[in-house]
Amino acid sequence: MSVAIITGSAGLIGSEATRYFAGRGMHVVGIDNNMRQRFFGAEASTARQAERLRNELGNSYQHVEADIRDGESIDRLFKLYGSAIKLVVHTAAQPSHDWAAREPKTDFGVNAVGTLNMLEATRQFSPAATFIFTSTNKVYGDTPNRLPLVEEETRFEIEPDHIYALGIREDMSLDQTMHSVFGASKVAADVMVQEYGRYFDMHTACFRGGCLTGPSHSGTQLHGFLAYLMKCAATGTPYTVFGYQGKQVRDNIHSADLIAAFAEFAKAPRSGAVYNIGGARYSNCSMLEAIAMCEQITGREMSWSYEEQNRAGDHIWWISDVSKFSNDYPNWQLEYNVHDILTEIYEANTERWQRQEPVPQ
């Protein structure tokens, strides 16, 4: 029996990974203690998704309510399965830079110490396993804001002859920049994942994501851009745009496209690999463009306002260059663009949103 350990298994990326690898015959052990509810409130609870996984996957899925900061609990779990563990997909995180500034120790404990616990348990008990880490573009801090950008009618764009015209590559510096507290904790985790790959010769990868999204995202005001935006559009909830005239640009990758990338890496893993991953030039939008798409999909005008002050460390323009991963794994390609993603989020959730279904406690 091949075992996959997936942290954050009831979250957006974790649940997508759980279904994918269970569907390919692996026994999935999901670690999720619903800290997202503590971070963002009842509306962000992953309890409903955890119950759905149990019902859908049956004996192929084991749910463990452990805290990744508890190294002894993680060690016991890995020792139980040992060499049967072939894959570790580490998605659990504190994902908001606004929230991180409130409790830096908690943020660092979850993101950095939790990742170290997962790496060391893998090294001690399952050293041949492939370890995949969902990192973030915030490891680059606000360095992208120094790029030569041009203001257009609905978005900022980079100069067309710039070396990053296709998107930002992995060679962008991580130094001399403001990361945010969240970004700093993810840098620590990211570098440690690389180091375990190189120093201990383990199969590890950091996937530095832009906006990760999809219909299973429990989007909130502090995290989950597209999902929360569509929820506001569908329910008439007021939405606030912070800074840059609403022309800040993000690439957006559907959770299914991201898991497809994980699967390709798992087939032919490398040591200490680093990839920028996102919607690239295929799937990106500005805030203004996303609002317009939400209005078109829902058939109703959004209630939104504008605050001049941008969030500290927020990117003005981020589009990932995914060429490095595409060259290493040519069978992978993006399937979903922003309009596809927003439409799927709306169709999957609008009935529940309109009923104002209470979130399980």
**213 falls within a domain:** yes
**164 falls within a domain:** yes
Tokens of 354: 């309109």
Domain count, the chain: 1
Q: Are 276 and 167 in contact (CB under 8 A)?
A: yes
**What are the pLDDT digits (tens) for 150-209?**
999 999 999 999 999 999 999 999 999 999 999 999 999 999 999 999 999 999 999 999
Stated pTM of the model: 0.94
318: enclosing H helix or E strand:
strand 317-318
Secondary structure letter of residue 113 according to DSSP: I
**360 falls within a domain:** no
**209 falls within a domain:** yes
Location of structure tokens 């590890």: 204
**343 falls within a domain:** yes
**361 falls within a domain:** no
Give me the domain span that covers residue 185.
Answer: 3-355
Would you say residue 225 has pLDDT above 80? no
| pLDDT at 52 (0 to 100) | 93
Task: Give residue 283's pLDDT band: very low, low, confident or very high (50, 70, 90).
Answer: very high
- Give the pairing type, strands 3-7 and 304-307: unpaired
**28 falls within a domain:** yes
- Across all residues in the chain, what is the average pLDDT? 93
Would you say residue 360 has pLDDT above 80? no
Tokens of 152: 């257009």
Euclidean distance between CA atoms 69 and 286, whole angstroms: 36
**62 falls within a domain:** yes
Would you say residue 10 has pLDDT above 90? yes
| pLDDT at 96 (0 to 100) | 85
| pLDDT at 219 (0 to 100) | 57
Which CATH number goes with the domain that contains 201?
A: 3.40.50.720
**What are the pLDDT digits (tens) for 13-65?**
999 999 999 999 999 999 999 988 888 888 778 888 899 999 999 999 999 99
